[in-house]
Amino acid sequence: MIQNVFVSPHADDVALSCGGQILMNSNRSDDVAILNIFTSDLAMTGPAIRRESKFTELVNAERSKEDRAAWEHLSVRAHYVDLPEAVLRQKFPFAIRHQPEPYLLEQLRDAIGTYADLYPGALFHFPAGIGSHIDHIACANVAFQILNLGIVERVRLYEDTPYSWLRFIRRQYYRRLERAVRFDHDSHAIAHRPSGAGGFRYLGSRTVPFPRGRLLFTAVYLAHLGSGASHPTSGLTGGYRGTVQITRLDEERVREKIALLEHYASQIPMLFGDDPERTFDLFREALSTEISIEIARS
């Protein structure tokens, strides 16, 4: 009986962020389901996306094939909701400013509700929205909605890898989250841990996550200083409690996780550069640590 449903905005998000936890679950074929959200290849409306856009490389049918192969390799069932991702909705993928999409949130909430009925009592794991990708934020928004509606009693938000490897981005996220969610001392300490790349290291090194996006992520960070408009808890006044939890992977599990990630060959250069093994070595602690935030109503 499925007890854990991992919501993946795009193919590879759950493997990157929660792959170790799934690998450690010896009963995963019966216990785990992956729910892939933005898997459509078709634009909703509006003009065709220009082929030369640097974001069109993120939209390719290979990703779903890679994803199916990855989860079949682990005997884990995967579902595909087939909503169009940001660029296919004519949206810039990263939230420089607030971009409400109520129709999308309604579709997403309905889809999650369907799977909550299919897997009653299952714990739903959502992306936290670290990194400010609007598709991740939409999923996190729906996590709070289904919690508020009583569809589920608790949710887990997972730190989005490798966005969470950038310490300055991650800390900015948690400072906003704590405006609505109350953490105990230990959870606060984990959330604000010192590991990860700071802003100067990120700008000055070629061996970092998202090496092509150094200026973009710095701009996103600066745009959000003093503003929480694009945060999943935007508009919430509190009333939640949260616990930050760590899963640490031993070296064998890290190697298995890397083997899982290798299924997503079309995405690896964009995520980790032309020498991903070097990036994995330099960020070994981050790669071997998976963080989730369990949230319930107070």
Q: Please check the confidence at residue 55 and state whether its pLDDT lies above 80.
A: no
Q: Please check the confidence at residue 237 and state whether its pLDDT lies above 80.
A: no
Residue-level pLDDT at 53: 46
Helix (H) / strand (E) element for 66: namely helix 62-73
Residue-level pLDDT at 228: 64
CB neighbours (10 Å) of residue 145? Answer: 17
Q: Which residue has the higher pLDDT, 256 or 52?
A: 256
Report the percent of the chain where pLDDT is more than 70: 92
Q: Which residue has the higher pLDDT, 48 or 120?
A: 120
Say which CATH number the domain at 92 has: 3.40.50.10320
Kindly report, residue by residue over 57-113, the tens digit of the pLDDT: 445 568 889 999 999 999 999 999 999 999 888 888 998 876 779 999 999 999 999
Residue-level pLDDT at 98: 64
Q: Which residue segment(s) compose the domain that 172 sits in?
A: 4-297
Residue-level pLDDT at 41: 74
Average pLDDT value for the chain: 90
- 188 φ, ψ (degrees, to nearest 5): -60, -40
Under a CB-based contact definition with an 8 Å cutoff, are residues 28 and 67 in contact?
A: no
Under a CB-based contact definition with an 8 Å cutoff, are residues 208 and 214 in contact?
A: yes
Q: How many domains does the chain have?
A: 1
Helix (H) / strand (E) element for 155: namely strand 154-158
Residue-level pLDDT at 227: 66
pTM for the full predicted model: 0.93
Kindly report, residue by residue over 164-208, the tens digit of the pLDDT: 999 999 999 999 999 999 999 999 999 999 999 999 999 999 899
- Convert 222-241 to b/e letters by CB count within 10 Å (16 or more is b): ebbeeebebbbbbebeeebb
Strands 123-127 and 4-8, bridge-based pairing: parallel
Query: How far apart are alpha carbons 87 and 105 in whole angstroms?
Result: 16
Q: Which residues contact 8 (CB under 8 A, 6 or more apart)?
A: 14, 15, 34, 35, 36, 37, 67, 127
Q: Please check the confidence at residue 163 and state whether its pLDDT lies above 60.
A: yes
Region 212-225 average pLDDT: 86
Residue-level pLDDT at 50: 42
Q: Please check the confidence at residue 45 and state whether its pLDDT lies above 80.
A: no
Low-confidence winner among 2-11, 152-161, 234-243, 258-267 (lowest mean pLDDT): 234-243
Q: Please check the confidence at residue 130 and state whether its pLDDT lies above 60.
A: yes
